[in-house]
Chains A and B, each alone.
Chain A
Amino acid sequence: MKRRIAVAAAVAATLLASAGCGSGGGSNSGSSNPLDGKGKTLKVYLMVDAQSSWKEVVDAASAKFTQDTGAQVTVEYQQWANHLTKLDATLAGNDVPDVIELGNTEASKYVFNGAFADLTGKLSTFDNSGSWLTGLSAPCQSDGKTYCVPYYAGARVLIYRTDLFQQANIKPPTSYDELVAAATKLQQAHASDPKFSAFYMPGKYWYAAMAWVYGAGGQIAKQDGGKWVGTLEQPAAEQGLQKWADLAKQFSKGDPTKDENDQDAVYGQGESAMLYGNGWEVGAVQSQHKDPNDPNSAMVDTKVKDKVAAIPLPGFTAGQGMPTFLGGSILGVAAKSSKKDLAAEWVKDFTSTTSQDALLAKGVLPNATTLLDQAAAVKGSEATALAAKNSWFVPNAPKWADVEKGNVLQQMLVDIVTGKKSVDEAAKVADAAIASTLNG
């Protein structure tokens, strides 16, 4: 991991030097106290998860911030769908938000392209900055400087039906072979149900498929002599893809053209035995808000209430879990913001240990390794925290977000699962697309 960052940083250095960018974090024009925010209003873009799941944590941080600085905060909650398109347009303008949340895989594009302010000078003021999870902090770094702050993380686990496992007399799998054996047994036991999936796996679920790739010792792309090269066609990666595709084809009735967006609802119908999902999905499959637009509405139980449990997904090597994608979010201060110091202050409050503790209770993972052990103690987060210790992350390339937005990996997976292309053909096409996108 470290090495890759160093290389990326070197590239970034040349990029940045030539463009002469970097807008100097704490540049404030002469006012005596940069943190005197009376009469000012900070504009914050957070993703919708904060609104639906931990709005009170946001409000508490903002309240503290307002108390300390006198500045007001308005938070605009964004939908994930297409949010980058809008953000690009917004950042091109002058009326930019001061603080922006991004998915950690999306961050490097903005970091490398000068959208965020340099926060290196304030690094020590952020809680736990010495032990941030690399999967979150790596994309924030460029040229040895830090441009954004880890917010929270998520890791994926194997969710399984305890009742079905008991009925079939199977124990939770501890190796990948056991997992396949269990799935085979379950699928046979429910052969009469045309909707039954022993392991529900929608075709575009690339966070899952790539876990298989990294688990088999492969990776998505690497840097070679300053150029990015797609590495999905290498034997290890293809082996992982093949195993993933075998599982999806054999044990899943899921739509090969769907992504994982409605997998909780499908699983909640009670006709799937296993699911690969985020820590919070363990709860989401069991009960949903009666009113999906009202986080305070009552919970309605699904058909699998109290019938599920979670463990880290077993990997190909005995005793080792499948490396999980370390998803999550980061917070950046817009380079064009006129209130960078205030913005950094709010980020500091929102990522403080206090805020992180409050987030832990919501079933997400903290932004620092020092807090992971605490997370493991939170009921329901044990498996997730355990899984997070063995993780992978997307290539730290400035244009990585465009690979995601361009659906390169999803296209490859759909081609494989639907049998339109062989693993090798599909991987080669994807590698070419990755190379042209990342180097373009």
Chain B
Amino acid sequence: MDVLESPPEARPAVVTGGPRRRRRGSGRLTPYLLSLPTLVVLAGLLAFPLVRMTMLSFQRLTLRDLFTGAAPQWAGFANYTTVLSDGFFWTVVLRTIVVAAICVAVSVLAGLLIALLMHRVSGWVRLAMMVAMMLVWALPQLVATQVFTWLVDTDWGVLNWMLDKLPGVDFSNHSWFVDPVQGWGVIIALVVWGAVPFLAISLYAGLSQVPKELVEAATVDGAGAWQTLRRIKLPILSPLIVVVTTLSVIWDMGLFTQVYIARASKPELDYYSLAVYAYQEAFARSNYSGGSAIAILTVLLVLGVMAFYVRQMFRIGEAD
């Protein structure tokens, strides 16, 4: 998922105060009528396919079934047992978690540091940083990935050429994707690069709302920069940090575009993330049922994090 596709941050309950009076008799049906179109769209385009996907994961849909419209055979839990007993699946699970953890940790930390930095620099530098980040943020994920692929290309890439200029370094013909550690390094850099603007700008805005008086009072009391950060700024910022971190976890666990496009739509096994695995299984190996099973397992895996996020947001939605 792109940072651009982020839902808005948590908005705390707006305390309207005073007892809420409801006008009676203006039609109990109104809320249902209002939400009907939303529900119809969600049911038709989401619930139905979702049910089908779940069914698919318990079936064996062959290409022949797909072409001829024949009903697929039921397979019971066969797809799940195949996937779960495959060591490669667990490798991919572990890899996805590790990569996501690194991406989230680095990007949230970098976002926070940049946000703090923005409070230290002169106005024009801040503007330059803002503009740079806005450009990056605005760049579509696909384009960003293609640009990175172009930067690190073995033969034509400017990165190798620049590194090669460094004395004593030989980077001509260096292939960044031979060693998966380096390859993932590039992909993580791309993810972080794309995520930092959203994080830094959100956190910067969050920091701006820390009351000046508090910071001043602390400084008068002899607190250093580090202490003000730890004791005042971070606690105030923490609800925001929790939300952006949770969102980052959800996006980074679903890592797809960056890998798939960077590996020219033909990812090597070393570059499989769970989302790529499900896609390749379904669309490259025509194993739609197996792919569906992996997709459902992926959702289950992130469900814990999702539940946490949903609960946070749900509370807000409930409270208003």
Q: Which residues of A contact B (CB under 8 A)?
A: 19, 21, 81-82, 85, 88, 91-92, 109-110, 113-115, 194-195, 204, 253-259, 261-262, 265-266, 335-336, 399, 402, 405-407, 410-411, 414, 418, 437, 440
Asked whether A262 lies within 8 Å of B155 as measured between CB atoms, the reply is: yes
Asked whether B173 lies within 8 Å of A194 as measured between CB atoms, the reply is: yes
What residues of B have a CB within 8 angstroms of the CB of A410 in the complex? 266, 268
Known: A257-B175, A405-B285. A81 touches B64 (CB 8 A): no
Asked whether A407 lies within 8 Å of B283 as measured between CB atoms, the reply is: no
Could you jot down 9 A-B contacts, CB within 8 Å? A91-B66, A109-B286, A255-B175, A257-B177, A266-B155, A399-B286, A405-B284, A406-B280, A406-B285
What residues of B have a CB within 8 angstroms of the CB of A402 in the complex? 284-286
Asked whether B173 lies within 8 Å of A91 as measured between CB atoms, the reply is: no
Interface residues of B in 253-308 (CB under 8 A from A): 264-269, 280, 283-287
Q: With the chains together, A92 CA to B66 CA distance in Å?
A: 5
Known: A255-B154, A256-B175. A113 touches B283 (CB 8 A): no
Asked whether A195 lies within 8 Å of B172 as measured between CB atoms, the reply is: yes
Known: A88-B283, A88-B286, A405-B285. A115 touches B67 (CB 8 A): yes
User: Which of B172, B265, B269, B284 meets A194, CB within 8 Å?
Assistant: B172
What residues of A have a CB within 8 angstroms of the CB of B67 in the complex? 91-92, 110, 113-115, 335-336
Asked whether A437 lies within 8 Å of B66 as measured between CB atoms, the reply is: no
Q: Which residues of B contact A (CB under 8 A)?
A: 62-64, 66-69, 154-155, 170, 172-173, 175, 177-178, 264-269, 280, 283-287
Complex: chain A residue closest to B279, CB-CB: A85
Asked whether A406 lies within 8 Å of B155 as measured between CB atoms, the reply is: no
Q: Counting chain A CB atoms within 10 Å of each CB, which of B64, B170, B286 scores highest? A: B286
Q: With the chains together, A195 CA to B264 CA distance in Å?
A: 23
* Shortest distance between the CB of A419 and any CB in chain B (Å): 9
Q: With the chains together, A261 CA to B155 CA distance in Å?
A: 13
Q: With the chains together, A406 CA to B287 CA distance in Å?
A: 11
Known: A255-B175, A257-B178. A407 touches B64 (CB 8 A): no
Asked whether B155 lies within 8 Å of A114 as measured between CB atoms, the reply is: no
Asked whether B66 lies within 8 Å of A21 as measured between CB atoms, the reply is: no
* Shortest distance between the CB of B122 and any CB in chain A (Å): 44
Q: With the chains together, A248 CA to B178 CA distance in Å?
A: 15
* Shortest distance between the CB of A118 and any CB in chain B (Å): 14
What residues of B have a CB within 8 angstroms of the CB of A82 in the complex? 265
What residues of A have a CB within 8 angstroms of the CB of B286 in the complex? 88, 109, 399, 402
User: Which of A81, A109, A418, A440 meets B178, CB within 8 Å?
Assistant: A418
User: Which of B170, B175, B266, B287 meets A407, CB within 8 Å?
Assistant: B266
Complex: chain A residue closest to B178, CB-CB: A418
What residues of A have a CB within 8 angstroms of the CB of B265 in the complex? 81-82
Asked whether B283 lies within 8 Å of A85 as measured between CB atoms, the reply is: yes
Q: With the chains together, A217 CA to B65 CA distance in Å?
A: 38
Complex: chain A residue closest to B170, CB-CB: A194
Asked whether A407 lies within 8 Å of B268 as measured between CB atoms, the reply is: yes
Q: With the chains together, A81 CA to B283 CA distance in Å?
A: 13
User: Which of A114, A194, A253, A266 meets B68, CB within 8 Å?
Assistant: A114
What residues of A have a CB within 8 angstroms of the CB of B154 in the complex? 254-255, 257-258
What would 6 more interface pairs be, CB under 8 Å, given A114-B67, A255-B173, A402-B284? A194-B170, A254-B154, A256-B178, A258-B154, A335-B68, A407-B266
